[in-house]
């Protein structure tokens, strides 16, 4: 009987779990993943891949060729951790204060390494596989950094694929769809400048706190009154800061937050209206407003043909009943969208079971999901680059 892709991936489980736990214990923030990148590079070299370091500062690219095929497939994983204090108490918990793999990028990196080992062993494809280990996914522009460093000019790909673990989706299940999968994301800071005064004599100043209060409420009208009802968008003010003393009207106040939208055009509407409201409301009170609206994440939009192929690969591994081919999109963001603006591709959610949610200080990637990620990514390569044999 021919060995299944999943059974083959399970052969590597012990080795891959050890790698994952090592990465988990030594988390690094975005664009600082020097130890992780070197671990990745050494493993790829050990398995016979051509390795390129320092792509987009700390990114790593591995190249595996087989046969005479001219097509190339890209597979991408993120490597960075978050500035959080881990509270899991695990034997392999973070050894770095206020650093934690709370989003599962340690698992993503490990699964892509496992896929490289699998394909280097089996060689059941004809063409080139480009393994992309990306830094700085968590809002630090790691995908853009690799692209600006000539990622797809130096390592051409016909298509590119990625995945993200998903708590609450059972292990062994896959969710995806054609079209939008993750929202584009922006962060913003609005600095309001008034005129400071004594707290007992506010008439001598221009109170930026009052401006911030009015503006915070007004910003909530952007989605409800400027974005079409059939579009999905959200704007949240997540921070308001001003003042240092009880009896002083401060000079400045700052509002910060995030906006998300499934279409780039909608994000433009949000940004334009945010600036208009901030400047005009501040002017109405005699203050000024300076807006910094940073569009950090492009929407992740699956190419229909690539989404179908990825779903077919998943179904070959876990069975059709365990693949959601038309799953609803998520309003969270993922900077893989930047790569898919250049190259057609697809993204899937990989079930990681009943574990703590993403960005939670008790989160830990579920090692049981590792063979599924390896098998699905290896299978999509074999389907996209069928062997000449």
Q: Is it the case that residue 388 has pLDDT exceeding 90?
A: no
What pLDDT is recorded for position 2? 85
Q: What percentage of the chain reaches a pLDDT higher than 90?
A: 98
User: Does domain 5-181+299-384 sit in CATH 3.40.630.10?
Assistant: yes
Q: Is it the case that residue 389 has pLDDT exceeding 60?
A: no
Q: pTM (2 decimals)?
A: 0.94
Per CATH, the number for 184-297 is 3.30.70.360
pLDDT, mean over the chain:
97
Report domain extents, the chain: 5-181+299-384, 184-297
Instruction: Report CA dihedral (201, 203, 205, 208) to the nearest 10 degrees.
Output: 100
Q: Is it the case that residue 203 has pLDDT exceeding 80?
A: yes
Alpha-carbon gap, residue 200 to 184, rounded angstroms = 45
371-386 residue pLDDT tens: 999 999 999 999 999 9
358-372 residue pLDDT tens: 999 999 999 999 999
> Number of C-alpha atoms within 13 angstroms, CB side, residue 164?
22
Rg (CA), the chain: 23
């Amino acid at each position: 009987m021919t060995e299944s892709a999943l059974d083959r991936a399970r052969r590597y489980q012990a080795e891959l779990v050890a790698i994952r736990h090592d990465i988990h214990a030594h988390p690094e923030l975005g664009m600082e993943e020097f130890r992780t990148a070197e671990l990745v590079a050494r493993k790829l070299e050990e398995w016979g891949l051509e390795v390129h370091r320092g792509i987009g500062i700390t990114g790593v690219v591995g190249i595996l060729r087989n046969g005479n095929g001219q097509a190339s497939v890209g597979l991408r994983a993120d490597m960075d951790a978050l500035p959080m204090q881990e509270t899991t108490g695990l034997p392999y918990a973070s050894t770095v204060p206020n650093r934690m793999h709370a989003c599962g990028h340690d698992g993503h990196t490990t699964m892509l390494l496992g896929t490289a080992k699998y394909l280097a062993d089996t060689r059941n494809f004809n063409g080139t596989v480009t393994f992309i280990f990306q830094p700085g996914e968590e809002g630090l522009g790691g995908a853009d950094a690799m692209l600006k460093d000539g990622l797809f000019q130096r390592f051409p790909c016909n298509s590119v694929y990625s995945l993200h673990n998903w708590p609450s989706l059972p292990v062994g299940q896959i969710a995806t769809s054609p079209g939008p999968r993750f929202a584009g994301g922006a962060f913003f800071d609005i600095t309001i400048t008034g005129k400071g005064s004594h707290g007992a004599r506010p008439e001598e100043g221009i109170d930026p706190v009052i401006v911030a209060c009015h503006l915070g409420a007004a910003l909530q009208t952007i989605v409800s009154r400027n974005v079409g009802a059939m579009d999905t968008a959200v704007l949240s003010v997540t921070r308001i800061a001003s003042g240092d003393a009880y009896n002083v009207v401060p000079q400045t106040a700052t509002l910060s937050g995030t906006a998300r939208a499934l279409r780039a055009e909608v994000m433009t509407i949000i940004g334009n209206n945010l600036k208009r409201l901030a400047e005009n409301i501040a002017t109405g009170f005699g203050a000024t407003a300076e807006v910094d609206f940073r569009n950090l994440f492009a929407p992740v939009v699956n190419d229909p043909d690539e989404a179908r192929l990825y779903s077919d690969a998943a179904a070959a591994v876990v069975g059709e009943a365990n693949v959601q081919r038309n799953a609803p999109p998520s309003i969270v963001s993922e900077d893989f969208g930047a790569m898919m603006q250049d190259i057609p591709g697809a993204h899937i959610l990989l079930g990681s079971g009943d574990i703590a949610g993403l960005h939670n200080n008790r989160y830990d990637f579920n090692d049981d999901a590792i063979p599924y990620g390896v098998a699905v990514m290896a299978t999509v390569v074999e389907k996209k680059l069928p062997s000449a044999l």
